[in-house]
Structure 1
């Protein structure tokens, strides 16, 4: 079998895009057989690459990388074995020459995204347009004719390229990287937004800030990342929200200087408009979204420092609430642990403002401690850990940590609040407040 035939047999069927929604059993069976055949074909390809590596042309190398990289990911068409083989093949092309990356971007990826131009991007330069092309309805037209979705895994090809572009080459390849990246980031489906965020994160590790600023793409990326925070109900939400928040932080660090007003304003926008304004008002009954946002809080709090004092009222209220929810509400072990860790970060960031909130914090901490040490006989509102790694001892340790940082921020609790707890029930609270 020729190399072209081998690669053609590894082209992922477009039906995998709707794999989880396919009702026909015969279609599912056909796709599952394809996955099994793909593993055997990948092993054959691996053998050929090892034997013929030196004789492969630039186009053949590009075709191999483009075909193989779609298996180096977590997708419905990938099995653990096929992912391993694909990873080994791609390792053969580690530290690729720039012409190979250009070949893939120019001839494998660009044609796929050509029919779906982003309305805010100049396709010839990759720069931000002063006004959207196509007028007011351009954003709606952008979702038509998405032919690139007929090639499952194309986004992973872009990710491979971005990871292998040298910093000095980004400016020359900008027009090849940004159009497909923005198509992913601004897609209406969360799964494509997620890979778009992952590609952005990889790009920010190498791209010069001057290129982002000069082309205006920095503002487009920040706006797209902010819109990702409104995806609260998709299966990708638990991964998308932390990834978007973390990538936003990286972008802010790259594009602003420490201590500048610009950095402060952008961090406040991320916390205030993004997390507090876009996620929390709608996540009360969506625990995965709420948990994901709170897990991402500590780095933002650390960067903002005392600047997060303007949000202290809502931060304390939100982080204390899962510790002792109302009877008709639910929480989870993960949410309680994440809330406690974020609460410790808030206390450390704003020690001067904490005395006003010490009663609220201690009330939540004490109630949570009692529910862990002496749980009710009937099932309570706290759900068990989903991954089994968070034991009651984990919660207890985080509760102790909050009491410790609270003492450092507000020493008066040693003379006032802590003795009252011990007087009320020394047996119950000794382990919580010992050495505090």
Structure 2
């Protein structure tokens, strides 16, 4: 009987070992070795079968699993609960089914995963600005070069999803207890020199901010450390991952600032200004004029920062209005896509609403861009491509809404500029500045 039990245990352990994500997946996107690619593809397909076998084994011994075994199962299954080249929709669904059988609020279990499966992997490369024993900001930084040497943790690509799973399942009151286990690996990801690791780092920080007590962030000095690291993400430009990184970083910055500063305080205003002025305008817009996807990412996320700053954003109108109206103006040297024009127009609506008292000065620049874009859309006519036609129709509607917003911000524009436009070319501009409402699908 003892022999049978041992064999069963060995089978369980062997199954877990089979599901360890191969280190080669870390270089899957760049490898040109056909043999490696084929082997990884086979592993990815087989993973579902092995995961299903694990589910069967767990059903037979679930009630007898020790804490250590449950942590082993979670650290294995959680590798498939997230993003990665080793993940398929089917394996994610199965992994979540396995994970959902556990008490996700069991702090002892989460602590075991962090301390025995995550900490040993990251502790070989301690973050230079974080005390690994307390999770507090370190008073003495380690050598940066030593920090980047080796980086053994990159040989465990699945561990990124495991860390994310843990962070999502820590209740706010338990962060104090697990702080020294969460912050070191999270900051290691966030401050890595490769954008592809910064992305999961920002995700983990964003997930943590949903639950962590703001006082803990401030008391340990980690709030300033995270903000500085997030601002550093704005300089990670001209990389394939840059647009994704920006879409994650901008709202996470706002979330952090709003969590750790008092409403209407000078500190909140200054930190949000740094995000907009130094990060978006001073870094991305200044250095990535030829990177449309990166620009589009900032345009999509811009409303989040503008709403957080409120009327204080008026100090940046001199930089923002030209940037938001330029994509609308069709010119030989301007090949802006319709999607970027849409993002610009939507962001423009928020800027007009938030900075209404300052719009009188900028109404001419805004109308110039909107009218030029409108003329181009009308003259281009219908498109045989249905998605493109829907995108153009949406842009026409947004342009009309920009005019409506401008009329609310500057009532005089209705009698002055709008009247002149409608009188000069009623067939062209009446639909833009006349009675404003949604166009029909017939356009």
Q: TM-score range by the shorter chain?
A: over 0.9
1:279 and 2:291 are equivalent in the alignment: no
Structure-2 change in CA distance of 1:143 and 1:398 (3 Å): same
Runs of 5+ unmatched residues, structure 2: 1-9, 437-443
Q: Structure 1 residues 281 and 303 mapped into 2: Cα distance closer, same or farther (>3 Å)?
A: same
Q: Trace 1:74-89 onto structure 2 (pairs within 5 A).
A: 74-89=83-98
Aligned equivalent of 1:146: 151
TM-score (normalised: structure 1): 0.94
From 100, 105, 108, the counterpart of 2:117: 108
Cα pair distance change 1:359/1:297, threshold 3 Å = same
> How far did residue 100 of structure 1 move?
0.4
CA distance in 2, matches of 1:385, 1:274: 37
Q: How does 1:14-413 map to 2 (within 5 A)?
A: 14-133=23-142, 138-375=143-380, 391-413=391-413
Structure 1 residue 231 displacement after superposition: 2.1
Check whether the contact 1:197–1:247 (CA below 8 A) recurs between aligned residues. Answer: yes
Hey, what's the Cα distance between the residues in 2 that align with 1:318 and 1:50? 58
In 1, the alpha carbon distance for the partners of 2:33 and 2:372 equals: 51
Cα deviation 1:304-338 (Å, max 9, x = unaligned):
11101100111100000000143123211111111
Q: Provide structure 1 residue ranges, at least 5 long, that are not aligned to the other structure.
A: 378-382
> Aligned with 1:374: secondary structure?
helix
Indicate the SS of the match to 1:85. Answer: helix
> What is the CA deviation profile of residues 138-166 of structure 1, one whole-angstrom value per residue up to 9, with x for unaligned ones?
22221111001111121111111111112
8 Å CA contact 1:308, 1:350 repeated in 2: yes
Work out the number of aligned pairs and report it: 427
Decide whether aligned partners of structure 1 residues 337 and 27 sit closer, same or farther in structure 2, where only a CA change above 3 A counts. same
Of stretches 147-156 and 48-57 in structure 1, the one that deviates more from structure 2 is 48-57
Q: Distance in 1 between matches of 2:58 and 2:419?
A: 72
CA offsets, 1:118-150, max 9 Å, x none?
1101111111012312xxxx2222111100111
CA distances 1:176-224 after superposition (whole Å, capped 9, x unpaired): 1111001000001111111011100111111111111111000010011
C-alpha distance 390-298 of structure 1, shift in aligned 2 (>3 A): farther
Contact 1:228 1:241 survives alignment (8 Å): yes
**2:5 is matched with which residue?**
none
Distance 2:385 2:19 in 1: 39
Superimposed CA distance per residue, residues 338-377 of structure 1 (whole angstroms, 9 cap, x where no aligned partner): 1111111111111121111111100000010111111289
Does the 8 Å contact 1:283/1:290 carry over to 2? yes
- 1:380 counterpart residue number: none
Q: Establish whether residue 3 from structure 1 lines up as the match of residue 8 from structure 2.
A: no
CA contact (8 A) 1:95 1:164 kept: yes
**CA separation of 1:394 and 1:94: change in aligned 2, threshold 3 A:** farther
Aligned match of 1:416: 416
C-alpha RMSD of the superposition: 1.9
> 1:39 Cα shift?
1.1
Deviates more, 1:230-239 or 1:7-16: 230-239
Shift of 1:94: 4.9
Question: Is contact 1:352-1:409 (8 Å) kept?
Answer: yes
TM-score of the pair, normalised by structure 2: 0.93
Given that 1:121 and 1:127 are in contact with CA atoms closer than 8 Å, whether structure 2 keeps it comes out as: yes
Give the distance between the partners of 1:434 and 1:178, measured in 2 at CA.
56
Asked whether the 8 Å contact 1:332–1:385 carries over to 2, the reply is: no
SS of aligned partner of 1:162: helix
- Name whichever of 389-398 and 293-302 sits farther off: 389-398
Shift of 1:295: 0.5
